[in-house]
Structure 1
């Protein structure tokens, strides 16, 4: 193997960073001069980056500027950073109040990625590390995120996802999953008992951004024996309140939801 592909990636990164000067647009010649690369090499990089939406060409001047995808990536970074700051103390309080592992998950395709997690202090506890991916269809966080996704996203998931059976309790029928997601939307929280792994249960609620869109789910996970010993309605209320607390820190308010329903 050679390091040529890595050098290409390095040059592409350097090219994107050249736009940090915030000039309206930059031409091929100017970029080549700043990067110390040939014009043909810069042109090839720009063509590839433009195909991916990372840069775009100004039809009036012929120069290049950052594309919309870069803005979208920046927004994704901001959401992750804001979410971590907003959820930290709430997650700790949720763990303290329930005595169980508390976590925050975000949707990525047909998976949930845990972006923040605090482990229970019980001797018998779960070991799901931050960054781990789990399936949407058999987890409470996944059900919340898919239930509150847009209808096109939800229907595409139901049409294309592999609803793999992990246990006898896993929902594998799309119509049954559609009904389950409807229930989650109606009551505002989801649970999953013995669905991804026998002996494991979880309950989750939505986290909303300042616009009212569900951007993450907060929940708890526990061995089924302890989970069933907790009154379900009380546990759901605690988790929903935790989700609302994080949402308020992200700028959400009930007034926002009222306006959305009226519009």
Structure 2
């Protein structure tokens, strides 16, 4: 972790606390002390004391045996307060509702966070066959239309600095070469939207557009459609609806 501005050094206990919470947030379920220690590398005695402190404060929970650990309810409360207090999420709600009604498909609002996108809001499809994504989920930016739309607002050099040369594959369709992805981002900039061609979930195609209320953009919206329901005419309708929603969000966020 980089030192904070002003020349001060990070406080070790604070750094370890945050790293522990991020560990549990990225690995649902309960984990033994040995599992956690192997992952984070802290001395077992100090790790145990830190875990017990977090358990007492409600940030970490244990199972009935008291030997396995997982994320606690207080983390949910903090995450919810972030969503509830976010001005963009609040401004986007009417537009997301309308976009969901117009397309009858699943709609997402997400934010770029490092090399990932984090889902801030979702509207579920009206159809029986539909994808499911919960608020707070993190996915690699390179495998999602949301992420590609946001990466396209960065320069090629910025993308190279952000992403490794080889990108993880989530499906056999995921673009795993950074330079190939950068080439695709050129096309995204020209056409104004990005496409996830079953790169994150087999059987699902997603279309995403960035919301340029700041540069580079940090938020984007998308529409996810099972390929079984996607005809050329429906695809064009979804793109048009996304462009309309983007324009509405530009107006809604112009003062933020």
Question: For the superposition of Structure 1 and Structure 2, which TM-score range results when normalised by the shorter chain?
Answer: 0.5 to 0.7
Question: Given the alignment, which residue of 173, 176, 196 partners 2:177?
Answer: 173
Instruction: Report the structure number with the largest CA radius of gyration.
Output: 1
RMSD: 2.7
The answer on whether the counterparts of 2:83 and 2:120 sit within 8 Å (CA) in structure 1 is no
Q: In structure 1, which of residues 208, 222, 238 is the aligned counterpart of residue 212 of structure 2?
A: 208
Q: Give the alignment partner of residue 142 of structure 2, picking from 132, 137, 140.
A: 137
Q: Note if 1:232 corresponds to 2:230.
A: no
1:122 aligns with 2:127: yes
SS at match of 2:208: strand
Runs of 4+ residues deviating >4 angstroms: 3-7, 77-80
TM-score normalised per structure 1: 0.62
2-structure distance, mates of 1:181, 1:173: 12
The unaligned stretches of length 5 or more in structure 1 are 11-76, 253-263
Q: Deviations over 1:172-221 (max 9, x none)?
A: 12221111011111111111121112101100111122x55412001111
| 1:118-170 CA distance string (max 9 Å, x none) | 11121111111111111111110010011113444312134x26412222321
- Matched position secondary structure for 2:86: helix
Deviation, 1:102, is 0.5
Is 1:208–1:250's contact at 8 Å kept on the other side of the alignment?
no
**Alignment correspondent of 1:244:** 247
C-alpha distance in structure 2 between counterparts of 1:233 and 1:204, whole Å: 13
Residue 95 (structure 1) aligned with residue 65 (structure 2): no
